[in-house]
Amino acid sequence: MRWFDFDEVLSFLETKGWVLSRVWPPCRVFIHKKHPLPLLFPVVNKKVSEEYINKIETIVGAKFRREQE
């Protein structure tokens, strides 16, 4: 499984209008004015798993820039 830096995920979400609302370790909660439900996912050692990146992409409706291996 691949892991991605939370800082990059945070920047991606902010450019799409999502705002970090709460931190409930290990989860981060984001809200969006036009989305009725919050986006919640775990962050482990400042990393987000590829499984959650896939879910985030589906909810946000945009692709996260993944570095080539």
Q: pLDDT digit of tens for each residue in the chain (69 aa)? A: 899 999 999 999 999 999 999 999 999 999 999 999 999 999 999 999 999 999 999 999 999 987 644
d(CA 39, CA 44): 16
Question: What's the pLDDT score for residue 34?
Answer: 95
List the beta bridge partners of residue 3. 49
* Distance from C-alpha of 52 to C-alpha of 61, rounded to nearest angstrom: 14
The pLDDT, as a whole number, for residue 65 is 81
What residue ranges in the chain does DSSP mark as E strands? 3-5, 19-24, 27-31, 39-42, 47-49
Q: What are the chain's domains?
A: 3-60 (3.30.920.30)
In whole angstroms, what is the distance from residue 13 CA to residue 9 CA? 6
- With contact defined as beta carbons under 8 Å apart, do 37 and 30 qualify? no
